[in-house]
Structure formats: structure tokens, C-alpha cells
């Protein structure tokens, strides 16, 4: 069973990462998918998306939940029936969930050169401190951080480029600070990140003082 990594962030916040090595048929086993779950996965055209979707149900099982305990609101944001907060991500052969008593966001992305070609679509302030050194890795951290923020904030019209900032960071420190400034709302978040097998995973937690 490829539960790749478990991270205990705090007493009430945990992360589980899955490495997707099984076939679609293997992933269907032992998760008791609901009819709606099966309908959704069967509508997906990509095999890796189908397997990513099912691997998340295995992560839920590892956390003590059944597929029926997860539902989505009208904006597509996931929720758990017990009121806990959840955020979900998958990219190629990895998927992850973060579950907490407070709002959280998580994202995994593969580190690819093509991110340099789209950087101007999601960064602005960050140009002030970026250099060519480790540019792909740093841009991937920034993207994951901003995607995590978006998953927490979940406000239609929010722009990565215009409404979020990631404070300068060092890759070896595995942590930074980010801000959302959207209309009259200003919020500060702690971003933690890790790298493995050419992937980056970042997760966001709101700073209690702001």
C-alpha cells in the first residue's frame, strides 16, 4: 500500500501523501465508493486523473473516513461531514490530503521547466527577489503556496498575481510567509513546503495573530 508519507503538523492537523502505483481496478477495492463518486470518476477521461481521484479515497480511509464522509459544495470545495476542514491535491503520480480543525490548503506540483513560461501569470511582487538560481524549484514553491491560499480563501475573483504575495524564502528552510490582500481583507498565512522525487508540496495555515 503506497502511503508515501504522513506528516503530523500539529495535534489536530495532519497530512497524508499517496504515491499512485496501482491500477484503476486495484484502487477501486476496499474504499466503498458512493454512486456519486463512481459517476464522477467515470466521467474523467484521463486515467491518471481517475487514479488520482480514487487514491484520495484511500487517503481518506487512512485518516479514518469513508468515501461518503466527503462532499463538495457548489463552488467545488471539499468538506467532511464531521465539520473538519480538508484540502485535496494530486499531480501525476502523487496525491495528498490535509485535514484539520482550522481552514487549510495544500497543493502538489511536478517541478517542470515550463513553469518559467507562465510565471508572469501568477507572480508580480516575487520578481523582486527571484534569481535564475533554482528558479524552477522556487517558482514551483510559489505556485503551490498560492494554490494553497486559494483553496483556503475560496473567493471568486481572487487573483494569484494581484491578491497574493509570497515573502522571500530559502529552499533549505522549508517555510515562508504569505499574504492575501483582497478588497478590504488582509490575511497572513504560514506556508510550509517539502520536495520529493521532483515534486513540490506546500500547505498553508492561517497565522492566528492576523
Q: What is the CATH number of the domain that holds 150?
A: 3.90.470.20
Number of domains in the chain: 2
Does residue 124 share a domain with residue 97? no
Q: Which of 80, 102, 124 marks a domain boundary?
A: 102
Pair (111, 199) in one structural domain: yes
Q: Most distant CA pair in the chain: distance in Å? A: 49
Q: Which three cell numbers stand for residue 153?
A: 480563501
Residues 32 and 74 in one domain: yes
For residue 48, the enclosing domain spans 3-102
- Could you tell me if 10 and 43 lie in one domain? yes
CA-nearest of 200, 154, 145 to 177 is 145
The model's pTM: 0.94
Phi-psi region of 183 (alpha: psi -120 to 50; beta: other; left: phi over 0): left
- The reported pLDDT for the residue numbered 208 is 63
Whether 68 and 61 have beta carbons less than 8 Å apart is answered as: no
Burial class (CB in 10 A: 0-12, 13-18, 19+), 52: buried
Tens of pLDDT, residue by residue over 14-64, are 999 999 999 999 999 988 888 888 898 989 989 999 999 999 999 999 999
Amino acid at each position: 500500500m503506497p502511503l508515501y508519507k504522513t506528516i503530523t503538523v500539529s495535534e489536530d492537523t495532519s497530512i497524508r501523501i499517496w504515491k499512485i502505483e496501482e491500477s484503476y481496478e486495484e484502487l477501486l477495492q476496499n474504499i466503498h465508493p458512493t454512486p456519486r463518486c463512481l459517476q464522477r470518476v467515470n466521467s474523467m477521461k484521463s486515467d491518471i486523473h481517475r487514479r488520482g481521484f480514487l487514491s484520495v479515497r484511500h487517503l481518506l480511509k487512512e485518516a479514518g473516513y469513508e468515501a461518503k464522509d466527503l462532499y463538495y459544495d457548489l463552488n467545488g470545495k471539499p468538506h467532511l461531514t464531521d465539520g473538519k476542514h480538508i484540502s485535496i491535491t494530486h499531480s501525476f503520480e502523487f496525491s495528498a490530503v490535509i485535514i484539520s480543525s482550522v481552514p487549510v490548503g495544500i497543493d502538489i506540483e511536478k517541478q517542470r521547466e515550463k513553469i518559467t513560461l507562465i510565471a508572469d501569470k501568477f507572480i508580480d511582487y516575487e520578481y523582486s527577489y527571484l534569481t535564475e538560481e533554482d528558479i524552477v524549484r522556487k517558482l514551483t514553491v510559489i505556485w503551490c503556496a498560492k494554490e494553497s491560499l486559494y483553496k483556503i480563501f475560496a473567493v471568486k475573483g481572487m487573483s494569484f498575481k494581484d491578491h497574493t504575495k509570497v515573502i522571500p524564502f530559502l529552499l533549505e528552510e522549508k517555510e515562508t510567509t504569505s499574504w492575501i490582500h483582497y478588497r478590504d481583507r488582509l490575511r497572513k498565512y504560514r506556508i510550509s513546503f517539502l520536495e520529493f522525487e521532483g515534486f513540490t508540496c506546500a500547505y498553508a495555515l492561517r497565522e492566528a495573530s492576523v
